[in-house]
Amino acid sequence: MDWDNARVFLAIYRRGTLRGAATELQIDQATAGRRLAALEAALDATLFLHTPKRYVPTPAGELALRAAEQMEAGAHALQRYMQGLDDRPEGVVSLACTDTVATVFLMPALAALRRRHPDIVVRLIVSTQLSNLTRREADLAVRSVRPDAPDLIARHLGRRAVGLYASRDYLAQRGMPEPGNGLAGHDIVVYDREIPGASRELLCQEPVQAARIVLEANTGMMLTQAVAAGLGIGELPTHLAALYPNLTRIWAEREDPYDMWLVMHGDLHRTARVRAVADAVVEAFAKPAPPG
């Protein structure tokens, strides 16, 4: 089985379309189609049924998946191993995090990193989805969930907390909410349902069944901007809310703590450029956060 063809097969299996696979692999759609056809010819098997909406794997495709994933794991292991031998602080390092982490912590750290190591290029992947480090979607990731995969190294960066906030204008018009009544008579902004770990039923231990959802956002920065604009009450990281003078903390005694982790693959922690970026991230989180 040719690895280039197997990569296309895996991308189609995961994305469901030729276009999605081509986008992921940064090739054109026609090339993706040719590589799939070449793989099916080599295996003398039909791997997908082409429905109007997506490519559906056949029984042969399901059987091919495991072998293709083993090839992928071997290719990535080889690449990580070779990177682990690299003691030069130069090259590209991909770093995955949320937009709030990038804004508050990482931008100053990356500026300092640039001055120390001008030959390192950071590829910043800003998303609320958890990047798969084993599949090389990123070299490093800052997460609020500690991974349990044995091939990943996790370093504790510190503990942060979220609290309830609203703008001064909002509270002037609607008043301070009363604890225990489900935020009755108030508008709230919440995370989109697709965000991992986001709660929509409780905000800082307060049930919100009596509140009205007026906006759903898929990033922390957009949620913060919505609260700052006066759309409603929202649950925000205290260190981020502290940067907005027009925000008022509601029920300051209530907060939900969470931990932050720096995660990398075990094969990469000795690579000079990855270690340099990791050190910059650790330094950024070691600085005191603004009081919330």
Give residue 234's pLDDT: 96
- Of the pLDDT bands very low, low, confident and very high (cuts 50, 70, 90), residue 102 is very high
pLDDT in tens, 34-51: 989 998 898 888 999 888
**Single-letter amino acid code for the residue at 27:** I
Are the CB atoms for 133 and 263 separated by under 8 Å? yes
pTM of the model: 0.66
Which class for 174: exposed (0-12), middle (13-18), buried (19 or more C-beta within 10 A)? middle
pLDDT in tens, 40-79: 898 888 999 888 889 999 998 888 888 888 887 777 666 6
Taking 90 as the threshold, does the pLDDT of residue 245 lie above it?
yes
* Average pLDDT value for residue range 155-175: 95
Q: How far is CA 170 from CA 174, 230, 234, in A?
A: 6, 5, 12
- Report the distance separating Cα 239 and Cα 164, nearest Å: 12
- Please report the domains of the chain, with CATH numbers, ordered by start residue: 3-79 (1.10.10.10), 91-157+259-286 (3.40.190.10), 160-258 (3.40.190.10)
* Average pLDDT value for residue range 254-273: 85
Q: What is the CA radius of gyration of the chain?
A: 23
Residue 141 or residue 270, greater confidence: 141
* Average pLDDT value for residue range 138-166: 89
Place of tokens 């649950």: 235
Which class for 119: exposed (0-12), middle (13-18), buried (19 or more C-beta within 10 A)? exposed
